[in-house]
Amino acid sequence: MNEETWIKLGDQTSGNLRSSQHTYMLAVTALTAVIVFGSNPDATFLLTVAAIGTGLFGLLTFENSQQGFMALMKGMPDSMAGTEMGAAFKRTPFMVFRLANAVLVSLIAIAQIIQVN
């Protein structure tokens, strides 16, 4: 793969991650506002389902982006891999990011579910 194509794929993957993060943050914020300021006991089940769905969305979209970044690192052009920046990219701790995301998103979903019920 040439450098130009690799950089374009990286930009696309970054854009997908940003878009997913913005969507997740908007959904979590809206759901939290409804949970905090709403007082309809009939909506408990629906809010619980929404919290689970939003959490799954956050987990799966971030995981998809991380898989894309990991594949991108494997396909890094040799001309870039030999530089200091290429070596730094290769050392990116993707497992730490994935674990931190899973823990954080799960804690947010659990807190929302506890508050609803």
The yes-or-no verdict on residue 109 having pLDDT over 80 is yes
Higher confidence at residue 1 or residue 45?
45
Task: Give the CA distances from residue 57 to residues 1, 39, 54, 91, in Å, rounded to whole numbers and listed in that order.
Answer: 31, 25, 5, 27
d(CA 76, CA 71): 9
**What average pLDDT does the structure give for the chain?**
89
Determine the average pLDDT of the residues in 82-106.
Answer: 89
- Percent of the chain residues past pLDDT 90, beyond the cut: 50
- Percent of the chain residues past pLDDT 70, beyond the cut: 100
What is the pLDDT at residue 89? 82
Which ranges in the chain belong to alpha helices (H)?
Answer: 3-37, 44-74, 78-81, 84-90, 94-116
d(CA 72, CA 75): 5
